[in-house]
C-alpha cells in the first residue's frame, strides 16, 4: 500500500467524522506512507429528521450512499457504526474489519436527575429507539417517552432547552465526542440491553479488492468480531432492524461467549429474553439458536404484528 491513496467514505456527522479519524489513525499506524483522503457524504437518513427510524426504512438509510460510493469506485472503504450496519450486506461488498469495541451500553443524560430511578413520575424522556422505549416503559411505565432525532449535539441541545427531562444516548458516542461529562448514568444491560454492534466501528469494502481486504484485515479485533458475529446472527435470524424493539449483547471472556437477546413490543407490554453461554467458535450458532427460541416463545407474533402495522403506515 506504499505511496497509494486510500479514499474513505464517511457520513458528515461529527460522530461519524470522529470515528473515521480514529480508523485513519489506526491505518496510518500500520501504513505510515499511505495517503488517506476522506470522502464525506450526507446520507438520506441524515436528511430525514422529522420521522422515527421505525416509520421509515430503518438503519440502512445511514449507509446506502456510502455503499454506492464504494460500488461506483468513488471510495475504497466506508466507515460505519456497527449498530447501523444491516445484517444483510450488499453482495458486492463485505465487512473487512471490526475495530476494538468501546462501551456498548446506553447512557442517561439529564441536567437534574442522576439515575432513571430518580426521574419523577411523568418525566419526559427523549429517544426514537423502539428498543430503548420498550425496555424503559417496562421498567418505568409512569414515564413519558417522546421522539428524539438528530445528531448527538442536536439532541443534547434539545435537552438543554427544556424539551426533555432526560434523554438516552449511546455511551461510546458521547465518549468519542468528549462529552463523557454529560453522562448522568451508564444504564446496566439488565435494564437496557444494547443494540446489536453498539459501541463498535466497522470497515466495509469491495469483495474484489483483495489488497485492501488483506491489509485492512489487520485492524480486526478478534474478541469484538466474535461478540458482534454472535449478536448479528441473532438479529439476522429475526430479520431485525430499527422497526423492531430488539437487543443483542455478547461478551467474550476466557474463550466463552455470553450472549443475551431480547425482543419486545413497542408498548413494553411484552418482552421476551433469553441467553446462551458457549465457546466463542460457536457464537454464530448460539445467535441462531437463541433467536429461534424467542421466535417459538412469542417473538414471531410480535414481528408479524409490527409488519402489519408497518404496511398500514
Q: 142-156: per-residue pLDDT in tens?
A: 999 999 989 999 999
Residues 69 and 206 in one domain: yes
Which pLDDT band holds residue 43 (cuts at 50, 70, 90)? confident
| 193, part of any domain | no
Q: What is the DSSP letter of 11?
A: E
Q: How many CA atoms lie within 13 A of 202 on its CB side?
A: 25
Which pLDDT band holds residue 304 (cuts at 50, 70, 90)? confident
Specify the higher pLDDT residue, 313 or 121.
Answer: 121
The catalytic residue positions are: 84
Asked if 259 and 243 touch (Cβ cutoff 8 Å), the reply is: no
Residues 159 and 182 in one domain: yes
**Site of grid cell 450458532:** 285
192-209 CB burial, b ≥16 within 10 A, e <16? bbbbbbbbbbbbbbbeeb
Domain that holds residue 134: 106-186
Triad 287, 292, 295: Cα angle to 5°: 130
Q: 13-31: per-residue pLDDT in tens?
A: 999 999 999 999 999 999 9
Q: 134-187: per-residue pLDDT in tens?
A: 999 999 999 999 999 899 999 999 999 999 999 999 999 999 999 999 999 999
Residues 174 and 204 in one domain: no
Q: What is the mean pLDDT of residues 119-124?
A: 98
The whole-chain average pLDDT of the chain stands at: 91
pLDDT for 61: 65
| 195, part of any domain | no
Does residue 1 have a pLDDT over 50?
Answer: no
Q: 44-63: per-residue pLDDT in tens?
A: 655 454 555 444 445 556 78
Q: Is the dihedral of CA 154, 158, 160, 161 positive or negative?
A: positive
Residues 286 and 173 in one domain: no
Show the cell assigned to 48: 430525514
Residues 78 and 122 in one domain: no
Rounded CA separation 106/196 (Å): 12
Show the cell assigned to 76: 475504497
Residues 6+ apart with CB under 8 A from 178: none
Backbone angles phi, psi at 203, to 5 degrees: -115, 125
| 191, part of any domain | no
80-105 CB burial, b ≥16 within 10 A, e <16? bbbbbbbbeebeebebbbbbebbbbb
Compute the chain's Rg from CA coordinates. Answer: 19
Rounded CA separation 141/139 (Å): 6
Specify the number of domains making up the chain: 3
Rounded CA separation 49/188 (Å): 28
Does residue 308 have a pLDDT over 60?
Answer: yes
Query: Considering the entire predicted model, what is its pTM?
Result: 0.90
Does residue 312 have a pLDDT over 90?
Answer: no
Single out the residue of 168, 122, 124, 117 nearest to residue 139, CA to CA.
Answer: 117
Which pLDDT band holds residue 40 (cuts at 50, 70, 90)? very high
Residues 93 and 9 in one domain: yes
Amino acid at each position: 500500500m506504499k505511496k497509494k491513496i486510500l479514499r474513505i467514505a464517511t457520513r458528515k456527522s461529527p460522530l461519524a467524522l470522529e470515528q473515521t479519524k480514529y480508523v485513519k489513525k489506526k491505518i496510518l499506524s500500520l501504513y505510515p506512507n499511505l495517503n488517506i483522503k476522506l470522502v464525506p457524504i450526507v446520507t438520506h437518513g441524515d436528511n430525514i429528521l422529522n420521522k422515527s427510524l421505525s416509520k421509515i426504512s430503518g438503519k440502512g438509510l445511514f449507509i446506502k450512499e456510502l455503499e454506492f460510493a464504494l460500488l461506483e469506485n468513488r471510495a475504497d472503504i466506508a466507515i460505519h457504526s456497527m449498530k447501523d450496519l444491516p445484517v444483510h450486506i450488499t453482495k458486492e461488498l463485505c465487512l473487512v474489519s471490526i475495530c476494538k469495541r468501546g462501551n456498548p451500553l446506553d447512557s442517561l443524560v439529564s441536567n437534574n436527575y442522576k439515575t432513571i430511578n430518580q426521574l419523577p413520575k411523568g418525566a419526559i424522556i427523549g429517544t426514537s429507539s423502539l428498543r430503548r422505549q420498550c425496555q424503559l416503559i417496562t421498567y418505568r411505565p409512569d414515564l413519558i417517552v417522546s421522539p428524539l432525532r438528530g445528531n448527538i449535539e442536536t439532541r443534547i441541545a434539545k435537552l438543554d432547552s427544556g424539551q426533555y427531562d432526560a434523554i438516552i444516548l449511546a455511551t461510546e458516542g458521547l465518549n468519542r465526542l468528549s462529552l463523557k461529562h454529560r453522562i448522568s448514568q451508564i444504564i446496566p444491560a439488565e435494564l437496557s440491553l444494547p443494540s446489536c454492534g453498539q459501541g463498535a466501528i466497522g470497515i466495509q469494502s469491495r469483495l474484489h479488492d483483495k489488497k485492501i481486504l488483506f491489509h485492512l484485515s489487520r485492524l480486526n479485533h478478534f474478541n469484538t468480531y466474535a461478540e458482534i458475529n454472535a449478536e448479528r446472527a441473532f438479529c439476522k435470524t429475526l430479520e431485525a432492524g430499527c422497526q423492531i424493539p430488539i437487543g443483542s449483547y455478547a461478551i467474550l471472556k476466557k474463550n466463552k461467549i455470553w450472549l443475551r437477546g431480547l425482543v419486545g413490543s413497542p408498548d413494553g407490554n411484552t418482552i421476551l429474553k433469553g441467553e446462551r453461554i458457549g465457546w466463542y467458535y460457536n457464537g454464530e450458532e448460539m445467535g441462531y439458536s437463541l433467536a429461534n427460541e424467542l421466535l417459538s416463545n412469542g417473538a414471531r407474533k410480535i414481528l408479524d404484528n409490527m409488519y402489519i402495522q408497518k404496511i398500514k403506515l
